[in-house]
Chains A and B, each alone.
Chain A
Amino acid sequence: MSYPLLSLAIWVPVAAGIIVLATGSDRNAGLARTLALAGAMLGLLVTLPLYFGFNATTADMQLEEIHAWIPNFNIRYHLGVDGISVLFVILNSFITVLVVLAGWVAIKNKVAQYNAAFLIMSGLMNGIFSALDGMLFYVFFEASLIPLYLIIGVWGGPNRVYAAIKFFLYTLLGSLLFLVALIYLFLASGSFSILVWHGLSLDASVQIWLFLAFLMAFAVKVPMFPVHTWLPDAHVEAPTGGSVVLAAIALKLGAYGFLRFSLPIAPDAAHELTWLMIALSLIAVVYIGFVALAQKDMKKLVAYSSISHMGFVTLGFFMLSSLSVEGAIVQMISHGFVSAAMFLCIGVLYDRMHSRQIADYGGVVNTMPKFAALFMLFAMANAGLPATSGFVGEFMVILSAVKFNFWIGFAAASTMIIGAAYTLWMYKRVIFGAIANEHVRALTDISRREFLILALLALCVLGMGLYPQPFTEVMHVSVENLLKHVALPKY
């Protein structure tokens, strides 16, 4: 393939964002929306060849693009994808389309800027997933925060300043140590190439320090316990689209970082610190599950549920078996669909009632039956019901956990009860029952646009649940290669 597909995946949405930005004020809001949708769809279109042209039989990087960028420090514009990252580029571009659609009516203020922020962020995030140069990765990693800050800060809720500052405090601390680690690796290898770093021989103690530095950056992003408290606040303040991107994509950046940096660069440290990572993951699964149960705000509840589900991801990574790592990646993708759908569903309700409080609802099924049916599907997916995508990753991770250690499996499997409890209890209080108040009585069922968005996600959730093989097929070789690499001592 002669086209620089990855560059297109990054720069098409960015360019589209700049064009949308050029439409200026809200007088051209309609044009801005249309252009944004066209840009997002074009962005999705250029990523599709990634999957269909992907060679699943090799663990090598594919579609590589290498150009010198800052030769003095051997920093290169180096892109490429393997079986692990390719799916996230597509997922990200897909979610962007939905986000543009989701904000179609609800966003009336600074429409062009809003859509531009999402498009630019989408491109930058594709950059993160395809960067193979440490500094390039870092630039994308940090730059992608700016649109997210803006989205929360400008279109967010009343407490957005606190949320944004909290977010900033957390990520700043992590990112700085990450940068230090990158510079150390450059000094040790004379290169910023991530692939070169993978082959680097490092002392055990150095690996531990590197691992911890990476951990600071990625754990905040995932987020892992105990650096997770920024997420519920960020979600609550973010507009629907912001929450969707945050949950579906941004949380995956940290998890992806573990696979691209922590495990291959510091494998011995990973082995050494397995107990810590598993313990933190299980706390996320169990403790956060209980916290979710106590939430009165729907968005907070789903935010905590996200943290709990991401606990499965990190748990899967650090059990270091093919089944568990692939299960974790599957869980990441599924969580992209399901959490996006959950936040979109809450957005549908919020757009109508301007409340996220569970107590303000009740009996929504009476006035919004179509919505209730779709929301039920996503709630069940969130609870990990078989035939939905939510089941696949959990199933794989739980099974590998039981093999790893019965009691770890036991703790992980408890999500089957807790996850169902908080999800269905929320669903019951919001959707079921007699009509709770006049506001609920006045609700109108979802529009065609809303139906289209949710139905697309429903197809993804069901499709992946019924036939996950196409998703895991592409990652087998890369995951095997990663695990083989991690299994070898590096010093």
Chain B
Amino acid sequence: MCAMMPTRSLSEVWSEAEIVRRSYPNSFSDQMVADIYGNVEQITNNVLTKQGSKRYLFDQKLDDLVTSKRFGYPLMLLLLVIVFWITMAGANVPSRLLASGLFAFQDQLTLWFQWIGTPSWVHGVLVLGVYRTLAWVIAVMLPPMAIFFPLFTLLEDSGYLPRIAFNLDHIFKKAKACGKQSLTMCMGFGCNAAGVTACRIIDSPRERLIAILTNSFVPCNGRFPTLIVVSSIFIGGAVAPYTGLVNALVISGLILLGIATTLLISWLLSLTILKGEPSSLVLELPSYRRPQLGSVIYRSILDRTLFVLRRAVLIAAPAGGVIWILGNIYIGQQSLLTSLGQALNPFGQLFGLDGFILMAFILGLAANEIVLPILLMSYLSTGYLQDFTSLEGLRSVLVSNGWTWLTAINMMLFSLLHWPCSTTLLTTYKETGSKKWVLLSFLIPTMTGLSVIFIFTQCVRFLGLV
């Protein structure tokens, strides 16, 4: 009798229970949670009377719709496409206006510099380097941000976001992760560093780490412009009458790919280094509110748009100067920039990119916002862009540098799946307190991205499609 020590008999019972658990196709925990709620509903129905609170009924009906099995997902997809459609269709014209205004001002600046009589290298660094890069960043990024962020804040304010988490909970659970991870991903759309910080809302340490490591699979605001511009030039532009819609679909597709990758990697992490079972989600669904238009605009423009723009400008300005210098220091016949690009080229070509693209992404470690401006600066460091007010002009620059549709797709894929920016890495360190997790948060998306574009490129080339 004494041989049955408590701990031993405990572990015996545990393994017996495990057999019972395995014999049941579904999860007992889920069933139990559902049963508890069933009991609770029964009791509530017997004791609670609502005296015609119309507001309450409206919320209930809306929730039945947006979290229903049939309409939940299509509604989310529809909203996604609509948000990007409005963003891209709306950003087109202001982008063009901003570009033509800012570049016209560049000519004016050049005249002033000539009039003062500054040496040509000063003009080069400040005007052709710093100013031109800034002009690119602002023209390309500001309009989409100024439309996307208010739309996003509207969804946030209305109370729809927690419903997304609710809807997605069961697929995240299949990946053995937490449904709240989708909320951290929503934050990641704005900024991955903010997304990583938001992972604090996930209680289980295991699930929090999964969410942190995979957050950069949702494209942040710094990467949207790259995706939008490349898609507009090479894909949307090819189908003239429906350009806006096609672009919205392409970007939505990329986001879905990012989500799919997140789920896949979360699942793989749960099977390997972060083993464990998912926990049940208890999420308070706040009642719907009519968003206050004034505060939405104020918060989204000040806290988000200008914040992100400021960060981009601060990093892009010196980067623009450095790129111009690199492009104008010659060793022999070649500029330093060209040599660098050529050194990276064989590696880039292997993955269906080129040396300059790879260099732009490496420099983009400082901030993803500057990847596209750096790339254009690199291509243009010696030449001149004739017509920068239309996408056709951009397209001809890229095509003359050997771009094909394959390059464009790889560029978008790699933009979606590559290392997080330095701010995000720093935040990851702050949140996890461990260099190991920082390294993994760098390696996991990088290896994923490189594998995807390598396989894609080799397949396309093998089939002779390009």
A binds B: no
| Interface set of B (CB-CB < 8 Å, partner A) | none
Which A residues lie at the B interface, using CB under 8 A? none
